[in-house]
Structure 1
Amino acid sequence: MLSHLALLVLAAPVLAAQAPVSLPLARQFRTPNGRLSDYDKQRGQALRTQQENRRPSSAHTNHPSSRSRTSVPATNAAVTYTLPVGFGEPPKNFSLLIDTGSSNTWIAFDASYIPMPESAKDAAATQPVTIEYGSGSFTGVEVIAPVTLATDLFVQSQSIGTGAPYDIDIEGILGLGPVDLTQGTLLLSPDETIPTITDNLFAQHSISEEVVSIYFAPTTMLSVVNGELTFGGVDETKFTSKVHYAPVTMIQPAGSYWGIEQSISYGGEEIMSQNAGIADTGTTLLNIPSDAFAIYQKKTGATMDQTTGLLTISEEQFQNLVDLEFNISGKTFYLTPDAQIWPQELNTEIGGQAGSIYLIIADSGVNSGSGLDFINGYVFLERYASVYDTSKNRVGFAHTAWTDAKVNKIAN
């Protein structure tokens, strides 16, 4: 099937490479069905265990001979970012969630209703597709169809899954993770990978770099357009610093995703030595290993709120908070005290009390040394723009106007 897809791309006319294309992301706040910390812990555990049958590799292009199926929660528990994507010709639009922790693209739709050009109908021979998620699953068939991302940005022949999601109330997912994560999802070709949308945009020369960058702003309202996804490079107008890159880690299982290595310090004291973890739009909180979490809780004086599963502090303790620092490949990034607390305007949306102060650092459920010790989730990515560079096998971060912003009343 992989050779078939390659032929489809090669047979198509070569398009002129263009400047990076930025697309607006619409954000909606989804009231979690349960505690945020439990959901994120579940996703983290699934991300670790799904790679148990995967042999270590130093790059995403080294495919394993076998791997377990994807088994991760399909969506961020609280913050959902969607992008309108057109399928078929003329395009029929669907709102797809963007996910850097998975790589398949699928829509919850009957393939027979996708408008297909005559030239593509013969190429639409399908095979079963299945993707298991920690909070649901997707089962359907593969279809080769044109995909339109913007007026001047499209993939001529993209493998997508079409069918029925189970216990996932969304229209579909746009997978932005490494291509290796698609292996095992085609039931008749379990050893093959499926070129991602980013792969195909680069292969047909629609973008000059196989790079995706993502910009978020802090969550303070239930629904708003305040994010941006850029294919083919970065939108420097959103950055207030140069992009600092870190190589994708060789440590597994983090190295199978957009994995990096970092250490964490609080108040000048290291609470987590250099370990491997990932940047993931599908995770809400900042998850750190249990041993580091215990030190952080002790230093902040926080207590565990059983209703939300989050640490809570008093106003006096908040005034004593200091920056949480991350050393990533020789560069220090930080979360200010304001960035370490959950948006107070949304306390009741997660089952919390209005006016309370909840911290967004959560226990990953494993001690340091698991091979995927931390997840820099949405609460980190809303303070730093992130760049995912397939061609150079690296992940980058840049400061934005929101890095030092104060968005909570108590911080103003």
Structure 2
Amino acid sequence: MFPAASLLTILLLALSITASPVEIRDSPITLPIARRLNTSGGTINLLQHDQSRATALKTVDRDTLSRRTGNTVATNDVVCYTAAVGIGDPATIYNLLVDTGSSLTWVSAASYVKTSTSVDTGRPISSSYGSGTEYTDTVTLGNLTIIQQPIGVISESTFTGITVGVIGIGPLDLTEGILGGSPPTATIPTVTDNLYIQDMISQIVVGVSFEPTTSESDTNGELTFGGIDATKYTGAVAYTPLTTTEPASYYWGINESITYGSTTILSETAGIVDTGTTLILIASNAFSAYQSATGAIEDETTGLLLITSTQYSALMNLNFNVGNNTYALTPNGQIWPRALNTYIGGSTNYIYLIINDLGTPSGEGLDFINGYTFLERFYSIFDTTNSQVGFATTAYTTATTN
């Protein structure tokens, strides 16, 4: 079943599937990812983008699958992580938004270069990012090559920004209902699923490493398919099962509580981990408690919370309690990189907090979003095989780069 010519496959055959994903050092199945600021349209509004996305993620009708056919999703990749993905043979390289909140890989029709491996299935496809046609094509991730990967070629898209599409690494079920002419429960294999189906990885797992950066554009991250890169984290990885609470359960949803210092501001509840969200958004009641505890005021220009230098010196850790483990976001980890203030319309010397209002109270089934400002401080593992999410500390967990 496994081609003898594949060194990757031979290596993975020697590894057993256990309750924890395979650890890989110097892995041949990693893909660099870069953080980019979208400055093409002038000042960027982080809060507006993230709250719009949160509304779309929460607006879920499991029966009618309306979340996949509507246009309520935030469509401007204000600040994002992108991966260079090859499509076709010979491959054209596209910088695609890395999105754990989506499972479809797609490119805009205006950018798509057809080759001999591009096959138009003729079936309409409709996702939250727009509508178009399903193709199958060769997809290259680093030195891994997937054949006949279903992708969307989107001709009518509400998506604008600095990328031309998305690589979706969300759960498989998010693709239900997006393919015209198919039963509502039909799914489209994600790139991670097909890596597994085509015997290139032994587990349906993606490890994600981000690092804090103060640069406008910086290759400072990594995706690892089929395992986790032990060189990217410190200590042990702790896993938590996926939540069963809807609508968080449709995504990479987990249960957690949040404390500021020793004060609980959000009791244990369900929410999601999302690379497509920049900020950390928490339920309105928790946000009010956090604002009160920090003494922050709302900045009218950016919409973010603003604190003084004295208040920054007095900040306590913001603790994310997941199962029996606590992930402490240090004071420096709670602020936007000051070197990038002007890109969000802020003032150079101001101190802005990256925790903000989800826009709805707790108890609605999706009460927090741990965006990439959280993930820059902790290594994360998205494990379909064992239905769990994992976190570990990194060399950057307590960094003072911001």
TM-score if structure 2 supplies the norm length? 0.89
Paired with 1:354 and 1:250, the residues of 2 have a C-alpha distance of 43
Paired with 1:330 and 1:112, the residues of 2 have a C-alpha distance of 46
**Could you list the runs of 5+ residues in structure 2 that have no partner in the other structure?**
13-26
Q: How many Å apart are 1:157 and its aligned residue?
A: 1.4
1:397-412 matches, cutoff 5 A = 397-408=391-402
Determine the structure 2 residue equivalent to 1:172.
165
Paired with 1:332 and 1:306, the residues of 2 have a C-alpha distance of 33
1:8-407 matches, cutoff 5 A = 16=9, 18-19=11-12, 20=27, 21-31=29-39, 34-49=44-59, 51=60, 53-54=61-62, 66-70=64-68, 71-74=72-75, 76-78=77-79, 80-109=80-109, 113-117=113-117, 121=119, 124-132=120-128, 137-151=129-143, 153-164=144-155, 165-169=157-161, 170-189=163-182, 191=184, 192-407=186-401
Tell me the amino acid that sits aligned with residue 340 of structure 2.
L
Q: How many Å apart are 1:41 and its aligned residue?
A: 1.2
Q: How many Å apart are 1:140 and its aligned residue?
A: 1.4
Paired with 1:373 and 1:184, the residues of 2 have a C-alpha distance of 25
Paired with 2:147 and 2:75, the residues of 1 have a C-alpha distance of 26
Classify the secondary structure of the residue corresponding to 2:187.
Answer: coil
RMSD, matched Cα:
2.1
Tell me the amino acid that sits aligned with residue 49 of structure 2.
Y
Is contact 1:92-1:114 (8 Å) kept?
no
Is contact 2:283-2:358 (8 Å) kept?
yes
Tell me the amino acid that sits aligned with residue 145 of structure 1.
D
Tell me the amino acid that sits aligned with residue 300 of structure 1.
T
Classify the secondary structure of the residue corresponding to 1:199.
Answer: helix
Q: How many Å apart are 1:72 and its aligned residue?
A: 2.4
CA-to-aligned-CA distance 1:309-364 (integer Å, 9 cap, x gap): 01111111111111011110110111000001111101111011110011111010
Is contact 1:17-1:207 (8 Å) kept?
no
Paired with 1:140 and 1:359, the residues of 2 have a C-alpha distance of 39
Is contact 1:338-1:407 (8 Å) kept?
yes
CA-to-aligned-CA distance 1:129-177 (integer Å, 9 cap, x gap): 1223xxxx422111111111122x1111110011323342321100000
Tell me the amino acid that sits aligned with residue 166 of structure 1.
T
Classify the secondary structure of the residue corresponding to 2:246.
Answer: coil
The share of aligned pairs that are identical, in percent, is 46
**Could you list the runs of 5+ residues in structure 1 that have no partner in the other structure?**
1-9, 55-64
Q: How many Å apart are 1:109 and its aligned residue?
A: 3.0
Greater mean deviation of Cα atoms: 108-117 or 176-185: 108-117
Tell me the amino acid that sits aligned with residue 239 of structure 2.
Y
Name the CA shift for 1:217/1:198 in 2 (closer, same or farther; >3 Å).
same
Name the CA shift for 1:111/1:333 in 2 (closer, same or farther; >3 Å).
closer
Name the CA shift for 1:343/1:147 in 2 (closer, same or farther; >3 Å).
same
Q: How many Å apart are 1:90 and its aligned residue?
A: 2.1
Is contact 1:76-1:283 (8 Å) kept?
no
Tell me the amino acid that sits aligned with residue 22 of structure 1.
T
Q: How many Å apart are 1:126 and its aligned residue?
A: 2.2
- Aligned residue pairs total 376
Paired with 1:221 and 1:318, the residues of 2 have a C-alpha distance of 22
Classify the secondary structure of the residue corresponding to 1:345.
Answer: helix
Tell me the amino acid that sits aligned with residue 100 of structure 2.
T
Name the CA shift for 1:185/1:297 in 2 (closer, same or farther; >3 Å).
same
Q: How many Å apart are 1:75 and its aligned residue?
A: 5.4
Name the CA shift for 1:140/1:218 in 2 (closer, same or farther; >3 Å).
same
Paired with 1:264 and 1:155, the residues of 2 have a C-alpha distance of 40
